[in-house]
Structure formats: structure tokens, C-alpha cells
Chains A and B, each alone.
Chain A
Amino acid sequence: MTDAQIFDRGYRKYDGERTGPGGAIRTLVKHSVRHALGLRRSAKHKVIPVLIIVSAYLPAVGFIATAALIPGDFEEEFLPTYAGYYGFVIAAIYLLAGFVAPQLLCNDRRTGMLGVYLASPLSRPTYLVGKAIGVFVLLLAVTFGPPLLMLIAFSLQDSGPSGPVEWMEVFAKILAGSSVMGLMFTSIALAIAATTDRVVVATATVLAVLPASAIATDSLVRDAELSPHLRLANLPNLPRELIFRIHGESGLWGPEANPTWSLWLAFFAWVAASVAVVWLMYRRLLVRR
């Protein structure tokens, strides 16, 4: 009897189980997240996403350090609430949405990877679902991660929620709020990215449309004194206002002028409209090879 073993058998038949469309979506999400973060790519592809993500955590780290170093009721008076934190990182969320969605959607059309994907068990809808989950997961890194970090740090410093029930309640509110923010930005950014295969054009459009909608609606409501319902077209502040309402805070606009139900209605309408745009663009897209 010999101890010899064959370690490398070379190319051979595969008779094992296959993971099907579910596995294809999972691998698409994993690959999309890695690709957008520049993993297994050269260093220059890592710089922008890392800088954006780090910049979203810096205020949280600063607040945690401040709360730790300055004793007393400083936290309640000066530190932002979990909902208020998004005011400090909204630019990072813009940037990440504008950077990631075009990277993941436009490049596949430009490089012909879309044809390779659609020659796999993925279909157009499952491909788009995989890409949307990829963008959403990346956005959660900046919408969910920093408030969660603050929650954990404050809890460790004994200045967080009192008791596990309250802790879970705050955690659920943070998760719901960050999901609202992530869903809104994912859908808008993907809708814009679906209309062009040029990454730069899509990125510039995302970065222009989001603040432009805020400036335009604010000036129409505040300066021109038009209906406060126009604020429902304020794309970045609509999810922020919803997050305030989720946390039971008064927010930016006040519940009298813009009732909560109208915010939810507008939020789902924007998400549905964005999904419709993406689907229409991809349904019509002729993938010839």
C-alpha cells in the first residue's frame, strides 16, 4: 500500500449539485459588492469607495469619542440623534450611490458582460434584482453602519438605551430608517444608471439630480410659498424626514404640513417609478450577444 495521493486531477467532469438562479443571484451580489469596493482590483479602484465609506463613519467616531471624553449630560444636549446623524453623512450617501450604481449597471452594458450574465441561469429580472441588492448592501454600509456603531458604543459607555427591550427598539428603528434611505437612493441611482451606458454621465446625473431636487423644492416651498406637498419631490430629504418620523422626532418639515402617510406614499411612489424606469429600459434593451 502506498501513501501517494493525487492532488491535481486537472479539468474533469462535474456531477455535483448546482445552485440554480438563487445561487446565481448570490454570486452576482457578492461579485458586485467586491467589484464596487475595488477588491481584487488595482489600488486605484479602492480609493474612492474607501474614502466615501470612511467619511461616513468619521462623524460617528468623533461623537463617540466626545461622549467618552466629556462626562455629564453633554450627549443629550449636543450630540445628534440617530435620525439627525444623516444630516452629517448625506453627502457621503449621495457620493456612494452616484459612484456605485453606474459602476455596477453601466459597465456591464459597455463591456458586454450583460450578455455573459444573461447566458447564465440569470434572467433580466433576476439580474436586476442581484444588482439592486448589491447597491443596497453597499449603501447600508453608510446608512446603517455608523448609527449602529454609535448605538453599540453608547451602550458600552452606559449612555445608550436602557434595557434590552429599548435597545432592540432603537436597533429596529435604525435598521428601518437606514433601509428607507438605502432603498430610496438605490432605486433613484439605478433608474438614472439604466438610462445610459456611460458611467461618468450616470454618476454626474445622480450627483446633480439629488441636490437639485432638494434646492428646487426648498426654494419653491420656502421662498415662493407654494404648497408644502412639493417637498415630496425633495429626493434626499424625503427619506431623511421619514427617518425622523420612524424615530418619533419632529424632523425637518413638521407633521402638520406633511403628514406621515403622505411621506410614505411619496416614498413608495418614487421607488416604484424608479423600478419601472429600470425595467422599461432593460425590457427594451436588445442584447444580441
Chain B
Amino acid sequence: MALVTAQGLVKRYGSFIALNGVDFEIEHGITGLLGANGAGKTTVLGMIIGLHPVDAGTLTVLGKDPWSDGHEVRERLGYAPEHHTLPPDVQAVDFVRHVAELHGLPGTEANTRASDAMWLVGLGEERFRPMGTMSTGQRQRVKLAQAIAHDPTLILLDEPTDGLDPLQRDAMLDLIKGVSANFAIDVILSSHLLDEVEAICDSVVIIGEGVTLASGPLDELRNTDAIGVDLELDAEPAQVESVASLLRAHGLTVTTSQRRVVVEGVDDSVFDLARDACVANDIGIIRLHRRRLSLEDVFLDRLG
């Protein structure tokens, strides 16, 4: 059974239509909820949590209606909000314990698990610090800790790498991947950053202008079969164009962009032709590899 199922989901705020017939199914694993800013991702998360009623369509979360069976659904959910403005004068471990107790854990269990969760996210030594004294990266980890402390079935992470530098971002993504893999906690990751979704997600739901643009396993959407050859050259634009002309002369469809040449077709002979064209122009090859669809290609394609 799918963790979350949405059929014809509609949400209006006055005359503004935030969602206009969204359909998707979210299965086990890590699912990326993708879309530009204002696409409706946060509205979808809010409806999954049961913050807003559905205006039309149906939404099922863990087999229940999140609006009418709200507390039963939310008991099994963890949620890390996007904003960083957590109570500044509260110790991180107290905050995590409080959220764990809110989700139904008895006091002593919440106490132990809050510390365990803080150690898991790498803040064991810092757990008694007030959250106002913590860096953005540490606060993001505290938000993850409070989302998992009560052992939820599903966690919803809203822009969990917002404000992080590249190293912190990679560490956070590894942490999320580890939590999902090691503790069988399913994750919905809301983000507008395609590369981070591509890095850790098993499936994606892409939302744009209030409708579903694409949804399903990442591999299916990207189509793992190669679609061409990608050639990066150590050359000036004029030389790149010369290589492209030679390849076109063999009947190939070729596009260029700065130092890149993209050739359609996956036949091995394309590699030989590309090599020969470079040799003929006395140009060095930086990279030559099969080209597959990236999530960005899928996203741009579906956006039209």
C-alpha cells in the first residue's frame, strides 16, 4: 500500500488556486517533492500533516484521512519545518524531548530518545545548548532530530539543506539517507534543488503551477537508457563548431554549447566518429561519455 495517495487534490485560498488537481502516489523510501518556489510544495506538506482540509479530491496518508483522522496520522509522522526560528532560549534536547512527548512517548522514553536522536544527528555534545546559540547547520540537525525522536513511520522534511554550505549539505543528505536506510523511516523531502533530490531520492513528485508535472521512481522518469554521447573539448568555440560540422557530415544530429558537443544516437560508432573529428581538428578531449537524462532534463521537459 502507498504511504500517501493523492487523487485530484484541489486547494484554494480565497480566489487563489494553490493546487488544481494534483495526483500522485508516494511509496516506501525517500521521495523528493520538487517544484519551483510557490509551486505548492508546502501546501501539499500542510495537507499531508492535516493542517488544511482538502477542497476537492482525496488524500490518504498511512491509510487514513489526515484531516478527519488527524491525530492518528500525525502521531506516526515527523515534521521538520523550513524556518529556522525555533525558540532561541530553549535547550536543543529539551525541544526534541518535548516534541517526542507530544507525539505520544512517555516522559522517560522521550528523555532517552531525545538524547539518542541528538547523538545520531551529530549533536550529542551540543545537546544542552540553547537553540539561539546554534549555527544554521546545527539547527537543521536539531529539526531532523525532533522529527525522528519519536520513531515515526514517515518524516516530512521541508528544505532541510536550506542555508547550509556544500559540505554541510552533503553531510545532511548522507544523514537523511542513513536515517531512512538504517531505521526504515520513509522520507518526503521537499526541495527546489534538483541535484540534492537526484542524489538521495528513490522517487519524485514534481509539482508546478498547482498540478503534477511528473511522479514516479526516479530511474523510470530519467529513463536509464543512454540517449546520446556527451563530448567535452579542450577547445575554442570555433574549433568546437568545426568538430560539430564534421559529425553532422556523417548524418548525426549535433548540438553545441560552449565547449560541449552533444550527439544524438547511442551506437558505438558515434564514439569513433567523435574521436576522429577531434583528431582531425587537433583538439584534446576532456570527457567523452554516454549521455542519460538528468532530473533537470525531466523537470525542464515537463515544465515545457
Contact = CB atoms under 8 A, between A and B. Distances in A.
Given A11-B116, A27-B98, 11 more contacts: A11-B183, A13-B183, A14-B113, A16-B105, A18-B103, A20-B71, A27-B102, A117-B102, A120-B102, A287-B46, A289-B158
A5 B248 CA distance: 72
A20 B99 CA distance: 13
A123 B42 CA distance: 19
Contact of B89 (A23, A42, A117): A42
Contacts of B25: none
A45 B70 CA distance: 35
Nearest to A289: B81
Contacts of A116: 79, 81, 99, 146
Contact of B51 (A10, A17, A40, A287): A287
B101 to A, nearest CB: 4
Given A41-B90, A112-B85, A288-B42, A119 B113 contact: no
Contacts of B86: 111-113
Contacts, number: 122
Interface string B254-281: 0000000000000000000000000000
Contacts of B89: 41-42, 45
A18 B75 contact: yes
Contacts of B126: none
B74 interface: yes
Interface in A110-153: 110-113, 115-123
Nearest to A8: B116
Given A19-B106, A27-B101, A118 B85 contact: no
Nearest to B72: A121
Q: Which 3 A-B pairs have the closest CB atoms?
A: A18-B104, A121-B71, A119-B79
A40 B13 contact: no
A31 interface: yes
A20 to B, nearest CB: 6
Contact of B120 (A10, A14, A119): A10
Interface residues of B, number: 48
- Name, among B42, B89, B119, B156, the residue most crowded by chain A CB atoms within 10 Å (CB to CB): B89
B85 A111 contact: yes
Main secondary structure of the interface of A (DSSP, over half): loop
Nearest to A30: B101
A80 interface: no
Interface of B: 13, 42-43, 45-46, 49, 51, 70-72, 74-75, 77, 79, 81-83, 85-91, 94, 98-99, 101-107, 109, 113, 116-117, 119-120, 130, 146, 148, 150-151, 156, 158, 183
A24 B102 contact: yes
Contacts of A289: 42, 45-46, 81-83, 158
Interface of A: 10-14, 16-21, 23-24, 27-28, 31, 35, 40-42, 45, 107, 110-113, 115-123, 286-289
A11 B148 CA distance: 9
Contacts of A113: 86-87
A14 B94 contact: no
B151 A111 contact: no
22 contacts: A11-B113, A11-B117, A14-B150, A16-B106, A19-B104, A20-B75, A23-B104, A27-B102, A31-B98, A42-B89, A111-B85, A117-B102, A118-B49, A119-B51, A119-B77, A119-B79, A120-B74, A120-B102, A121-B70, A121-B103, A121-B104, A289-B83
Contacts of B106: 16-17, 19, 23
B13 A286 contact: yes
B152 to A, nearest CB: 10
B22 to A, nearest CB: 17
Nearest to A14: B151
Contacts of B42: 288-289
A11 B86 CA distance: 23
Contacts of B101: 19, 23-24, 27, 31
A289 B90 CA distance: 20
